[in-house]
A = this chain, B = another copy of it.
Amino acid sequence: MSDPVVLLTDFGSGDTYAGALIGACWRVDPTLRVVTATHGVPPGDVLAGAYHLKASALAFPRGSVFCAVVDPGVGSERRVLAVDTGEVRCVAPDNGLLSYLWSEADSTMRRCAAVAVPAGASPTFHGRDVFAPAAARLAAGADLDDIGEPGAPPMLLDVAFARRDDAALLGRVAAVDHFGNAITTVRLADLGGARLTGARWDGGGTDSVVRTYAEIGDGLAVLVGSAGHVEVAARGRPGRCLGGPEAGAAVRVLLA
């Protein structure tokens, strides 16, 4: 059984763009398994996409091939990359979407190749005509070398990485999830062994630190979410209803 292709895009589910990626994979190999991580990345939001790509990759088996398309620059000169992290593989535009997947991979294992855009690709839909076919070829057994030329590593988004500032980490909200939890760019690994004691943002803050949603009382709390990022959460309603930070907001994570 070949490895699966896992789709992650900002296409939404109201159009047929997302479905077209399945068709495009099957035009390469009709026996491939193609499933969806999400098509709900906010349109053009590369930082949120980078977070969701990492979170998905944590859940899927070794060898899975992600086809990640959050690509506001379709039609411009940005490169198309195929990377192998040693755990998963991914085809994506070189615009920062690979920030976490690449930077958190074992540097002795990771590889990067630049994929050529095929003649005849629609100038408006590289997902269907470039990314999905390349991902399908990897899933069907091709090596990175078979689908592109070894190239410079992916660009990384500065904003994806928290900065240490005294007894705090300065990050921002990478994504607000369906339940209203504000997931920040601050990672457990960034804490360097320090203890989480709270968070501050423009207009609000909390000193409540918990392990599970069930422990949150009536207010806001910080916890480490299931992909290892610090988040600001409330229980039974979106955090913003209680003054929690919005998508993109700067967040100061307090340490002790």
Q: CA separation between A179 and B39, bound complex, in Å?
A: 13
Across-interface contacts of A44 in B (CB, < 8 A): 236
Partner of A75, one of B31, B60, B74, B214: B214
A20 close to chain B: CB less than 8 A: yes
Task: Report the nearest B residue to A129, measured CB to CB.
Answer: B226
Which one of A21-29, A96-104, A153-161, A162-170 contacts B?
A21-29
Q: Which residues of B contact A256 (CB under 8 A)?
A: none
Q: Do residues B6 and A178 form an inter-chain contact, with CB atoms below 8 A?
A: no
A2 CB, nearest partner CB in chain B, Å = 10
Give the contact stretch, choosing among A120-128, A189-197, A199-207: A120-128
Interface size, A (range): 35 or more
Bound CA span A226–B129, Å: 10
Which residues on the B side are within 8 Å of A19 (C-beta)? 6, 8, 35-38, 56, 59
Given known pairs A22-B35, A177-B17, A178-B15, the reply for A211 and B75 (CB within 8 Å) is: yes
Asked whether A11 is an interface residue with its Cβ less than 8 Å from the other chain, the reply is yes
A175 to B15, CA, bound (A): 9
Q: Does residue A217 face the partner (Cβ distance < 8 Å to B)?
A: no
Roughly how many angstroms separate A85 CA and B61 CA in the complex, as a whole number? 31
Q: Does A219 contact B (CB under 8 A)?
A: no
Contact residues in B for A30 (Cβ distance below 8 Å): 1, 4, 61
CB atoms of A75 and B26 under 8 A apart: no
| Contacts known (A19-B56, A30-B61, A128-B226); A75 close to B212, Cβ less than 8 A | yes
| Interface assignment of A52: CB less than 8 Å from any CB of chain B | yes
Query: A6-B23, A14-B40 provided; 4 other pairs, C-beta below 8 A?
Result: A13-B40, A20-B56, A20-B226, A123-B212
24 pairs, CB–CB < 8 Å, chain A vs chain B: A4-B26, A11-B178, A13-B13, A15-B38, A15-B177, A16-B38, A17-B178, A19-B35, A20-B58, A21-B59, A22-B60, A23-B56, A23-B59, A26-B61, A27-B59, A27-B60, A34-B35, A59-B128, A72-B213, A73-B214, A123-B211, A123-B212, A124-B213, A124-B226
